[in-house]
Amino acid sequence: MLEEKQIPYIVEKINMRCYGPKPPDFMAKVPTGLLPVLELDGGPPITESLRIMVLLEQEFPDHKPLVPRGNSQEVQRWEQLMRLERRLFSDWLGWACSDWNQAMGKVRCEALLDTIEKELKVAGGPFFFGKDISLADINMVPMFERMVASLAYYKGFFIRGTGRWPAIEAWFAALEQRPTYLGTHSDYYQHCHDLPPQMGGLYFSDEGYPVAAQIDGMDGQSWRLPLPPLSATSLPEPFSAGDSPPVDTLEAAASLIKNHEAVARFALRGVGKPGPRPVSAPLSDPTAIPALEHMAAADMALRHVAHALLVGVDEKQVSEHALQVTASEPSGPAAELTGMPIIPAAAYLRDRIGVPRDMRFPAARQLRAHLNWLADSLVAAVA
Ligand SMILES: N[C@@H](CCC(=O)N[C@@H](CS)C(=O)NCC(=O)O)C(=O)O
């Protein structure tokens, strides 16, 4: 909303409880600890996302309007759409968090999707109020994005990429053309590993397991080179903005290189020791102790990955900087790598690439696949 309205802002990130205690100065200001929170021009903290959005709309009347003004029919519809978002929240979690009566959860979600499909057609699409984005879209998409991801992962239920709800597909496609939306767009992997620690259990049905294996890259294929192209109909995860391997690999390499020392240190948590204060989110261990004695090897391994991203693995392997692997410890400042400790470090990093925190989805899948290329080459050599 801030980006669409072009309101200047500063973001202060506060972690969710499942990633460790929140900063005490934040808790002093907001005793419930709930996010989001707005401080408008140094004023008191304001909570509740809907209240925040309505306030921003009122306080910045000269910026792009996102709520219909005047026409009472439109205002009524806007309120209806706000209620529809709450229905989405409860029908989605009613199914996702249930391990019994899967059929009922599915029927409710299908009915909800039919209603949303109809609402998107009222003004001719692609958005709820026609060709311009509004707060109805902005308010709906964060939960909808999570619904789409988690129902594919846990239930094998595809909302997008099937042609069953074309107005919903067109709505996501229109959003995925907007840099304002892409700045917050996560991938299915991120959502499906972020949601359970925050919300409690989400439950699999039998149809979910094979899809989850694909999303997690555990099927031996989906996180490996060569990656299939991305499009509005690619499954399990469509992305209408598509991919562009030369640009995506460059973005992944830039993100890796820009912060290479911290990234190498982070990867070495994969062979380090668990932290003294573990947290409840399985992929997170903010106090973990990295095995820094392997820093030179981790640094060299990540240089190989960056080089492979920049020139492609085939060209790299015929260049003078080809990845060479030995079965035993290299002696001296070798240009070769051994499997240990780099295999677990590469896997640790691969599983913790955050979208969009670290890079966009098309770049993240490239980095994951190139880290797998490294790990697979090392595994082949030590096997
Ligand atoms: N109705 C509130 C809900 C706020 C809420 O539940 N926020 C969650 C995140 S979406 C939260 O901050 N949970 C605390 C935590 O997990 O640390 C709103 O719309 O702002």
What digits encode the pLDDT tens for the residues 226-239?
999 999 999 999 99
40 and 124 fall within a common domain: no
> Model confidence at 222, in pLDDT bands (50, 70, 90)?
very high
> Model confidence at 335, in pLDDT bands (50, 70, 90)?
very low
Task: Kindly give the distance from the C-alpha atom of residue 230 to the centroid of ligand 1, in angstroms, as a whole number.
Answer: 32
Task: Kindly give the distance from the C-alpha atom of residue 367 to the centroid of ligand 1, in angstroms, as a whole number.
Answer: 31
**Interior CA angle at 361 toward 356 and 366, to 5°?**
125
- The reply to whether 233 falls in a domain is no
Distance CA 75, CA 92 (A): 26
pLDDT tens for residues 153-186?
999 999 999 999 999 999 999 999 999 999 999 9
51 and 78 fall within a common domain: no
Distance CA 194, CA 199 (A): 9
- Look at residue 130 in the predicted model and tell me its pLDDT: 96
- Look at residue 333 in the predicted model and tell me its pLDDT: 45
Task: Kindly give the distance from the C-alpha atom of residue 34 to the centroid of ligand 1, in angstroms, as a whole number.
Answer: 5
Out of 3-7, 264-268, 325-329, which region has the weakest mean confidence (pLDDT)? Answer: 325-329
| The two three-digit tokens of residue 382, written as one number | 């030590």
Contacts of 84 (CB under 8 A, 6+ apart): 115, 116, 119, 140
Look up the CATH number of the domain holding residue 150. Answer: 1.20.1050.10
86 and 51 fall within a common domain: no
Contact 20, 277 (CB under 8 A): yes
- The reply to whether 240 falls in a domain is no
78 and 46 fall within a common domain: no
82 and 45 fall within a common domain: no
**Interior CA angle at 236 toward 196 and 189, to 5°?**
30
Task: Kindly give the distance from the C-alpha atom of residue 225 to the centroid of ligand 1, in angstroms, as a whole number.
Answer: 38
16 CB within 6 A, ligand 1 = yes
> What domain count does the chain have?
3
> Model confidence at 325, in pLDDT bands (50, 70, 90)?
confident
Out of 165-179, 296-310, 326-340, which region has the weakest mean confidence (pLDDT)? Answer: 326-340
Task: Kindly give the distance from the C-alpha atom of residue 114 to the centroid of ligand 1, in angstroms, as a whole number.
Answer: 28
9 and 87 fall within a common domain: no
pLDDT tens for residues 68-123?
877 888 889 999 999 999 999 999 999 999 888 889 999 999 999 999 999 999 99
Residue nearest to atom 2 of ligand 1 (CA): 48
Average pLDDT over residues 327-334: 52
**Interior CA angle at 298 toward 294 and 304, to 5°?**
150
Please, which contacts does 259-264 make with residues 24 or more away whose CB atoms are closer than 8 Å?
Answer: 260/299, 260/302, 260/306, 261/299, 263/302, 263/349, 264/295, 264/298, 264/299, 264/302
48 and 94 fall within a common domain: no
- Taking all residues of the chain, what is their mean pLDDT, rounded to a whole number? 94
Strand partners, 40: none
Q: Which atom of ligand 1 is nearest to the CA of 36?
A: 20
Average pLDDT over residues 210-235: 96
Backbone angles phi, psi at 127, to 5 degrees: -100, 175
- Which residue type is seen at 66? L
Distance CA 141, CA 122 (A): 18
Task: Kindly give the distance from the C-alpha atom of residue 33 to the centroid of ligand 1, in angstroms, as a whole number.
Answer: 8
Note the pTM of the prediction, 2 decimals.
0.95
- The reply to whether 64 falls in a domain is no
Residue nearest to atom 6 of ligand 1 (CA): 34
Q: Which of 29, 34, 55 to mutate to test the pocket of ligand 1 (most atoms within 8 A of CB)?
A: 34
162 CB within 6 A, ligand 1 = no
User: Does residue 329 carry a pLDDT above 60?
Assistant: no
Look up the CATH number of the domain holding residue 329. Answer: 1.10.490.20
Backbone angles phi, psi at 125, to 5 degrees: 65, 180
15 CB within 6 A, ligand 1 = no
47 and 124 fall within a common domain: no
- Which residue type is seen at 344? P
User: Does residue 327 carry a pLDDT above 70?
Assistant: no
Distance CA 271, CA 346 (A): 10
- The reply to whether 69 falls in a domain is no
Question: Residue 136 sits in which domain range?
Answer: 74-215
351 and 249 fall within a common domain: yes
Distance CA 3, CA 8 (A): 8
Q: Is the dihedral of CA 48, 54, 55, 57 positive or negative?
A: positive
User: Does residue 336 carry a pLDDT above 60?
Assistant: no
Contact 267, 344 (CB under 8 A): no
> Model confidence at 266, in pLDDT bands (50, 70, 90)?
very high
Backbone angles phi, psi at 281, to 5 degrees: -80, 120
Contact 322, 243 (CB under 8 A): no
Helix, strand, or coil (residue 290):
coil
17 CB within 6 A, ligand 1 = yes
Strand partners, 130: 127
35 CB within 6 A, ligand 1 = yes
Q: Which of 16, 35, 195 to mutate to test the pocket of ligand 1 (most atoms within 8 A of CB)?
A: 35
40 and 170 fall within a common domain: no
User: Does residue 20 carry a pLDDT above 70?
Assistant: yes
48 CB within 6 A, ligand 1 = yes
